Structure 1
C-alpha cells in the first residue's frame, strides 16, 4: 500500500516538519499526530482541523500500520491526549470531532484493530471523563465493533473487556436546571452491543457468552436496558430501552450450552424484576412496559431453544435453585396474559423438548452422581417449574380463587399441547402414559377444592384413570417434591 498522505487541517503550522523526516508510514503518522497535538506561541491551540487531520491520518493507514501507531501512541500517553482532543467540546473552531465524525473513526478502527488495540483505544476514551467512564464513546466504539469487526475479533474484544465491566455501575451528571443518573457500566454496555450483534454467528456467540462470569453477565444485562433518570425542579422521569437486552437474549439462543443459557436467564430475570419494580411517585417511567416485554420475550425465546436443559440447570445450580429468577419470569408472564407459554413449557418438561417421550418413564429417569447418589432430575426439574409458577401466582394475588384461575389457564395450555400429541402406532406404552398425563391435568383443572399449588402438583403426576393412583414411583415423586420445597416464595 502506498504511504498515506498526511491530512491537512486548519492549524498545526509545524505539522509537516517532523513527519517529512521519515518515509516509514508508522513513524510518519506518529510524528504527524504529535505535531498536530503540539502548541507554541504562534500555534497556541489544537483546532478542529488538527483533530480531523489526526483522524484522517489513522483512517488512511492499513490494518497493521494502524495497530502499530495505536500501540506507539498508547505507550507514552499520547493516545490519551488524542482521545481528550477528539472529545473536546470547545467552540469557535477549537472543538473535537462531532459525534458523526467519531462514529466514522470508530467504524474504521473496528475494521482494522485487533482486540488488544480496541481495548487500548476504549481505555483511552474511558479516561476522558472519570465521572462517566467515557460512557458515550466507549459504547459507541462497542457499537462499531458489533457492526464492523470480524466475529473472531468480536469474541476476543468481549474477553479483553470482561474484567472492566463491573467497576463503575452508575454515574450522575449535573446540568443547568437538574441532573441525570445512568445505571450501567460503560464497558458492560459496550460488550452488550457486541453480544447483541453476534446473531448469525453461533460459534462466536458460544465463545463470547462462555467467557463471562455470572457477575459479568449481570453487569451486561443491567447496562443493556440503558436506564437513565432525569431530575429537575419540576419532575423526575426515568427512561428505559430494552432493545439491546432482547437482542442479547436472541443471540444467546443460538448457543448449545444449557449452563451458560441458565446463567444468562438468571441475570436477565433479575433485570426483568428491576424493570417491573414500582419506580415510585412522582417518577414517570418511559419505556418501562416495552423494556419489560423485550426482556421477557427474549427469555421465552431462550427457554424455547432447550426448555428441559435450561430448566434443569436452573433447578440444580446453587445460585438459582431457590427459584426466584424463574419465578420473576413466570410472574411477568402471568401478569401479561401469557399463561399459554408457561403451559407449553410445562408440556415439554413432561414429554421432552420434542414432545416425543413417555411422560412416566421420563419422570422416573435418574442419573447417578459422582458420590453414588441417585438424582431424579426430570422429576425435580418439573417440581421446580411447578413451585416457581405457584410462587408467581401467589405473589400476584393472595386470593385463592384468583390464584387458581391463573394456574388453570397454564394447565389448559398444557392439556392442549399434550392432548394433541399423536402416539406412535407401535408404542402402546407411550399412548397409555400420555392418556394418564392428560387425565391428571383434567382432574386437577376440574377439581374445585384444590388450591393453585395442589392443582399444579396434581397435574404434573401422570395418574391411572381407573384407580386414581399415581403412575410414578415414590423415589421419583420424592425428587419432585424436594425441588418444590426448595423454591422460595416471591415477595
Structure 2
C-alpha cells in the first residue's frame, strides 16, 4: 500500500511562495529536535480487552444464551464455548474469564460446560477434561480460582457434583500450570478452604446416603501443593495460615460416612481415602526449611489426632477399625516428613510454646503432634514401631557428625544444645504415648524397648551416614539395656539414664547447659503432651 506521503513524492508542484518572516520557525524547530528539549511522551498501552478477546466474549455470550430452538443450549453451543476459549492466547483468555467473572456469567459458563441434558446433549467427559486442561495451562492463578469457585456451585447447595469438578480442575492445575500460577492459585483459594459452609457434601444413592467431609477448595489446593517440590512448594505453603493448612490436610484424608436404608442404628459407617494426605506429606518432605517441615508435620498430626475413635466406640457399636486403619496410613505418611531431617524437625518442634505474633505458625512445644504420631506407631506392627525407634535413635545421634552419643549430646550450635533438646522432646513425647496405651510402667518400658530394638534393624536402610548410624546404634543399645533393667520405674527415668553422658565410673558427666536443656524439655513435654 502506498502512503499519502509516498504518493506526494511522485508529483511535480510549483515552488511555494516565500514564507513571511514573522512565522518562521526554522531555528525553533532545530532547537526542538534537541534530545534535552523533546518532551517525553507517555507510552501508549492498550486499555481493555483486545479486539480478539472482545470478539471471543461476544461469541461466548451468544452461545451461553443458546442458539437452539427457543434459545435452548445445544451440544454445539458447549463445543463452541470450549473451542473459543481454547483458541485464545493466555492474555486474551484471562481477559475473557475476568470479564465473565465481573459480569456474573462465569457460573453460567461452568454450568454449561458441565451440563448433561438428555435433550440438547453435552460435552463428553473427554471434551470436558480437554477444556479444563486448556484453561489450566493458560489462565492465571486468580482466574483459575474464580473458575474453581464457579464449579463449586454445580449441583446446588451441598451437592457432590460440583466438588468433583473442583478436584478435576485442581488436578489439571497441578499437571499443567506454571509454578507461579500454582502459587497464586493456592494463595487465592486459601480463604475458601476454611469456609465451613462447604465442608460437607451429600451423595444420595438408591438405598443409602453418603456424606463427604472436607472442603472441595481445600482438596483442589491439596492437589496443587502435592504436585510441587522444594522451595516453590515452601513458598506456596507459606501463603496459607495454619488454619488453612489444617483444612487442606483435613480434606486430604477423604473422609466419608454412610447410612443405609433399613439400618436400625443411626450410627454411620466411616470410610477414608488417604492417598492425597500421603502425596502431600511426601511433597512437604522436600521443603528445604526444617521449620516449615515441622509446621507441616504438626498440622498433619493434629488431623491424625482428631480421627482417633473415642474409648467408648466399641461399647456404642461404632466402627473403630476403619479410623485406625486410616490413622496408620496417615502416620506412615507423616513419617516421610520426619525421616527427611529427624534432628532438625524435632528440635524445631520443641521451640514454639508461643509462636511469633503474625507468623501463622502453630504452637508445638507441648509435644501433642509428636506424641499423637508416636502413639499411632506404637499401637501398630513392628514395621511402624521400628520406624519410630529409628527416628528416635537418629535424633540421639544429632546431625553434626559427632563420633559418640555423649559428644553429640554435649555439642552446641550457636549456643543451642540441639541434640540434647531434641532427644528430651522425643523421649517425652514417646513416653506420653506409651503411657496413653498402658498405665503400667513395666509394660511401657517393654513397649519402648521393643520399638528401639526394631529400629536398630532399620537404621542401615535409611541411608544414614556411617558415623551417624554408628552413634545411633550405640545409643539404642544403651537405651535398651537401661529399659530392660528399669523394672517398674518410669521409662523417662530409664531413657534419661541412657541419654546423659557418663564417666568411666558411670557417673553423670554431661555439661550443665546440655543437661538443663534436655531435662527441662523432657519434663515439659512428658507433663503436657496429649496423644
TM-score range with shorter-chain normalisation?
Answer: 0.7 to 0.9
In the alignment, what sits opposite 1:45?
Answer: 72
SS in 2 for 1:316: coil
Match of 1:150 in 2: 178
Does the CA contact (< 8 Å) of 2:249 and 2:277 recur in 1? yes
Select the residue among 300, 305, 327 that pairs with 2:340. 305
Residue 173 (structure 1) aligned to one of 197, 202, 212: 202
| 2:509 is aligned with 1:471 | yes
Q: 2:438 aligns with which of 358, 374, 397?
A: 397
Match for residue 411 of structure 1 among 419, 443, 452:
452
The match for 2:367 among 320, 323, 326 is 323
Residue 113, structure 1, aligned to residue 139, structure 2: yes
Offset at residue 282 of structure 1 (A): 4.8
Tell me the CA shift for residue 38 of structure 1: 1.9
Larger of the two Rg values belongs to structure: 2
How many Å apart are 1:283 and its aligned residue?
A: 5.1
Q: Which residue of 1 aligns with 2:103?
A: 76
Distance 1:468 1:313 in 2: 31
Structure 2 vs 1, CA of residues 121 and 435 (structure 1 numbering), >3 Å: closer, same or farther? closer
In 1, Cα distance between the equivalents of 2:126 and 2:209?
25
The separation in 2 between residues aligned to 1:266 and 1:309, in whole angstroms, is 14
Asked whether the equivalents of residues 446 and 483 of structure 2 are also in contact (C-alpha less than 8 Å), the reply is no
How far the C-alpha of 1:377 sits from its partner, in A, is 3.7
CA distance in 2, matches of 1:224, 1:418: 30
Gaps of 5+ in 1: 1-22, 369-373, 425-430
Corresponding residue pairs, total = 454
Q: Which moved more, 1:174-183 or 1:321-330?
A: 174-183
Contact 2:101 2:146 in 1 (8 A): yes
* TM-score, normalised by the number of residues in structure 1: 0.83
Deviates more, 1:270-279 or 1:316-325: 270-279
* CA apart distance, 1:328: 0.9
Query: Secondary structure of 2:439's match?
Result: coil
Q: Distance in 2 between matches of 1:415 and 1:447?
A: 19
Checking the alignment, whether the CA contact within 8 Å between 1:159 and 1:208 is kept in structure 2 is yes
User: Following TM superposition, by how much is the alpha carbon of 1:330 offset from its aligned partner in structure 2, in angstroms?
Assistant: 0.6
Q: Which runs of 5+ in 2 are unaligned?
A: 1-49, 354-362
Q: TM-score, normalised by structure 2?
A: 0.77
Instruction: Find 1:187's aligned residue among 184, 194, 217.
Output: 217
Match of 1:483 in 2: 521
Q: Could you list the structure 1 runs, at least 4 aligned residues long, displaced by more than 6 angstroms after superposition.
A: 414-424, 433-436
Distance 1:150 1:286, change over 3 A: farther
Answer yes or no: is the 8 Å Cα contact 2:446–2:484 preserved in 1. no
1:92 and 1:41 map into 2 onto residues whose CA distance is 11
Q: Secondary structure at the match of 2:194?
A: coil
Relative to structure 1, is the Cα distance of residues 288 and 163 closer, same or farther in structure 2, using a 3 angstrom cutoff? same
Hey, what does 1:136 align to over in structure 2?
A: 164
